[in-house]
Amino acid sequence: MTEPVLSVRNLKVEFATRRESLRAIDGISFDIAKGEVLGVVGESGAGKSVTGLAVIGLIDPPGRIAGGEIRLSGLRIDDLPPEEMRKIRGKRIGMIFQDPLTSLNPLYRIGDQIVETIKTHTSLSDSFARKRAIDLLAEVGIPAPDKRIDGYPHEFSGGMRQRVVIALALCAEPELIIADEPTTALDVSVQAQIIALIKRLGRDHGTAVMLVTHDMGVIAETCDRVAVMYSGRIAEIGPVQEVIRNPLHPYAKGLMGAIPTLAGDAHRLIQIPGAMPRLSAIPRGCPFNPRCAQAFERCTIERPEPIRKDTQAVACHLFDVTESAA
């Protein structure tokens, strides 16, 4: 087995308030291999984006990493000083944010921003950095890149701005890219193009990608594996086709059952009752137990740990063989 590009072990993230510390991420573990796309999916408030921010070292006070380890190609990065983490961020880890307008400075030309990023992380001269920027714009599908490189962000459409942000993330040929809802603000046809572009990153560059989204369609089209998050924990993780066709966790079943199909059957979509709990009111035991039709007494007392079932891992007492045998 080759070493994973990203290895997260028992990660905990807390946010301090006047009364108490609220745990947003509660002991999650996962790996991403070279060239692999891992999807992280769940409702708003599940902890998807916070996980990505923790990996890239952008958890701002009063938030903090309260436990666990994050390793990038074997190097532990969660305890690095800020100046050391800045060297890794952008060079070894790239970030694609949801809204490209927040990632691009409206006062500077697109080319200037890409060239500056390239020169920050490499030793290329101005002319070679500009040529590299043009090549990157061409790679992400910007037409006439030698002319568009001198345009300003407002002169690009939403889809084209997102392509520019992806080019920025690729500047230093990072080992890992974290994409946080990269297709949310785009129309369906542009979404498909961005999805194809992200898939190509892993294939052509060997880049590991962590794709954060709430859209199961994007997950199904893009990812190799998927982690279903609920209330700061991973409820289920496994190969994307296995999780979609045969979800194990009741929450994952609810998510998959809420996806409309083109089969034409008249069955109603599954509806998950209730809502994601607030950080200050996470239930004891399994956090999903108040919304779960299959919950039993143990679910309200004891937190379930991940249980391996073939290629999937599920955090659910229903799959505890020792409990069933008893």
Please report which residue ranges of 157-288 form alpha helices under DSSP H.
158-170, 188-205, 216-222, 240-245, 250-257
Per the domain annotation, does 122 fall within a domain?
no
Closest CA to 87 of 116, 63, 120, 42: 120
57 domain-assigned: yes
The domain that holds 245 is classified in CATH as 3.40.50.300
Assigned domain for 297 exists: yes
* Mean pLDDT calculated for residue range 273-294: 92
Q: Is 10 within a domain? A: yes
- Which pTM does this prediction carry? 0.90
Domain assignment present for 293: yes
Answer whether residue 110 is part of any domain.
no
For residue 151, what are its two tokens? 């345009």
The domain total for the chain is: 1
In this prediction, residues 136-150 reach a mean pLDDT of 92
Domain coverage including residue 200? 6-92+172-260+270-325
Determine the Cα–Cα distance for residues 139 and 164; give it in Å rounded to an integer: 10
User: Is 192 contained in some domain?
Assistant: yes
CB 165 within 8 A of CB 96: yes
Using the predicted structure, report yes or no on whether residue 65 has a pLDDT greater than 80.
yes
Residue 249 lies inside a defined structural domain of this protein: yes
The answer to whether 170 and 201 are in contact (CB under 8 A) is yes
Q: What is the pLDDT of residues 201-238, one digit of tens each?
A: 778 888 999 999 888 888 888 899 999 999 999 999 99
Digit-coded pLDDT (tens) for 256-281: 877 766 665 556 777 788 899 999 99
